[in-house]
């Protein structure tokens, strides 16, 4: 079979042209695969994280609070940062190096649970019955042994539950990790995560805050939608950047990149299965999350 030519599918990014010669089932699977879509704010955050990670060690390392609404790309950005700059390796001295360590915040402000999350990332044996001081020492030892350069705690808003005292204990523990290891620490979560850090001035002063705002219906959103269209393996050009379709996409996603991606996936799957091979307004209406009845049922199918 002759490889597809760019002139056959000018709306598809050249790197994905080979997908267009695949079966419908293969193209449907391709739609479900995780894929990085770069944009200005995301690239700026990644550059900022890289600069933090490469700072020389000093007693008071800078920390970062990355906040944004749910489904607005925080976790995806952190994973892309780790993919680009955090792959583990063995250095010339035969030492393990784990440049970027990402852990998920436990469901509550419990210091022991946070230390266990760290230890589990190293597959390090531990006993839950051990006192927190031992688990903390073990976590610090593992991070130091593996030359961790930056610690990222995702879903930080999970620790909003519980007493203020418990939250302060976790924040004091994070401060201790930062001081002992002399590495930057990044906490990422929804806007409620800021409340945990801002409660104590000594903690708030250590954290710079970056907010990932929702998308406005502007030229940047238009470019973002165009980037998504280049990776959707549809045989016909959907012209998603038209004014009418852009408005629908923005209304459906409410300016959240995760919801935009999910909506486009639903529409693209329908376009392949129905044979229309493009996302038209009828398909958008069918999968609209603002409608009742058929649209909502189709969205969940």
Whether residue 6 lies inside any domain: the answer is: no
Rounded-to-integer distance, Cα 262 and Cα 268, Å:
10
Tell me the residue length of the chain: 301
What is the pLDDT at residue 175? 93
Whether residue 5 lies inside any domain: the answer is: no
Whether residue 3 lies inside any domain: the answer is: no
Same-domain check for residues 148 and 175: yes
- 73 CB-near residues (< 8 Å, 6+ apart): 42, 212, 257, 258
Same-domain check for residues 220 and 207: no
**pTM as predicted:** 0.89
What is the pLDDT at residue 301? 31
Domain end residue (candidates: 178, 196, 212): 212
What is the pLDDT at residue 3? 67
Phi, psi angle pair for 116, to nearest 5°: -65, -40
Return the bridge partners of 65, or none.
187, 209
Count: domains in the chain: 2
Whether residue 25 lies inside any domain: the answer is: yes
Same-domain check for residues 121 and 240: no
Per-residue pLDDT tens for 91-135? 999 999 999 999 999 998 899 999 999 999 999 999 999 999 999
How many CB atoms lie under 10 A from the CB of residue 106? Answer: 19
Domain end residue (candidates: 212, 242, 261): 212
Rounded-to-integer distance, Cα 170 and Cα 214, Å:
29
Domain end residue (candidates: 184, 212, 240): 212
Same-domain check for residues 56 and 184: yes
Whether residue 155 lies inside any domain: the answer is: yes
Same-domain check for residues 285 and 205: no
Q: In tens digits, what is the pLDDT along the chain, a chain of 301 residues?
A: 466 777 789 999 999 999 999 999 999 999 999 999 999 999 999 999 999 999 999 988 999 999 999 999 999 999 999 999 999 999 999 999 999 999 999 998 899 999 999 999 999 999 999 999 999 999 999 999 999 999 999 999 988 877 888 888 899 999 999 999 999 999 999 988 888 887 777 777 889 999 999 999 999 999 999 999 999 999 999 999 999 999 999 999 999 999 999 999 999 999 999 999 999 999 999 998 644 443 343 343 3
SS3 string, the chain, reads CCCCCCCCCCCCCHHHHHHHHCCHHHHHHHHHCCCCCCCHHHHHHHHHHHHHHCCCCCCCCCEEEEEECCCCCHHHHHHHHHHHHCCCEECCCCCEECCEEEEECCCCCCHHHHHHHHHHHCCCCCCCCCCHHHHHHHHHHHHHHCCCCEEEEECHHHHHCCCHHHHHHHHHHHHHHHHHHCCCEEEEECCCHHHHHHCCHHHHCCEEEEEECCCCCCHHHHHHHHHHHCCCCCCCCCCCCCHHHHHHHHHHHCCCHHHHHHHHHHHHHHHHHHCCCCCCHHHHHHCCCCCCCHHHHHHHC
Same-domain check for residues 194 and 51: yes
How many CB atoms lie under 10 A from the CB of residue 231? Answer: 19
What CATH number should be reported for the domain holding residue 96? 3.40.50.300
Q: Give the position of tokens 């523990």.
A: 173
Whether residue 161 lies inside any domain: the answer is: yes
Q: What burial class does residue 262 get, using C-beta atoms within 10 Å of its C-beta: 0-12 exposed, 13-18 middle, 19+ buried?
A: middle
Phi, psi angle pair for 177, to nearest 5°: -60, -45
Same-domain check for residues 112 and 201: yes
Q: Which domain holds residue 250?
A: 14-33+216-300
Whether residue 282 lies inside any domain: the answer is: yes
Q: Give the position of tokens 């808003």.
A: 157
Closest CA to 74 of 49, 98, 55, 99: 49
- Kindly provide the b/e burial profile for residues 13-24, where b requires at least 16 CB atoms within 10 angstroms of the residue's own CB: eeebbebbeeee
């Amino acid at each position: 079979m002759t490889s597809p030519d760019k002139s056959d599918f000018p709306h598809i990014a050249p790197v994905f042209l080979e997908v267009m010669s695949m079966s419908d089932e293969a193209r449907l699977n391709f739609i479900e695969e995780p894929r990085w879509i770069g944009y200005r704010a995301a690239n700026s955050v990644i550059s900022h994280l890289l600069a933090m990670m490469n700072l020389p060690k000093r007693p008071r390392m800078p920390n970062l609070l990355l906040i944004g609404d749910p489904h607005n790309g925080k976790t995806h950005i952190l994973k892309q940062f780790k993919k680009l700059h955090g792959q583990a390796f063995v250095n010339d001295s035969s030492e393990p190096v784990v440049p970027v360590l990402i852990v998920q915040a436990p469901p509550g402000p419990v210091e022991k649970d946070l230390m266990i999350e760290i230890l589990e990332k190293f597959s390090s044996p531990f006993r839950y019955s051990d006192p927190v001081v031992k688990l903390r020492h073990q976590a610090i030892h593992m991070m130091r042994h593996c030359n961790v350069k930056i610690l990222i705690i995702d879903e930080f808003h999970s620790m909003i539950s519980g007493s203020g005292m418990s939250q302060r204990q976790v924040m004091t523990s994070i401060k201790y990790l930062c001081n002992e290891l002399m590495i930057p620490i990044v906490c990422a979560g929804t806007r409620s995560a800021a409340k945990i850090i801002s409660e104590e001035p000594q903690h708030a002063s250590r954290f710079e805050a970056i907010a990932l705002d929702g998308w406005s219906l502007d030229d940047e959103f238009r470019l973002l939608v165009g980037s998504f269209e280049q990776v959707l393996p549809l045989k016909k050009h959907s012209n998603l950047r038209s004014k009418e379709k852009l408005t629908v996409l923005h209304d459906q996603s409410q300016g959240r990149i995760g919801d935009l991606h999910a909506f486009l996936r639903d529409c693209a799957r329908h376009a392949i299965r129905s044979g229309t091979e493009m996302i038209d307004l009828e398909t958008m209406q069918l999968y609209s999350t603002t409608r009742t009845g058929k649209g909502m049922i189709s969205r969940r199918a």
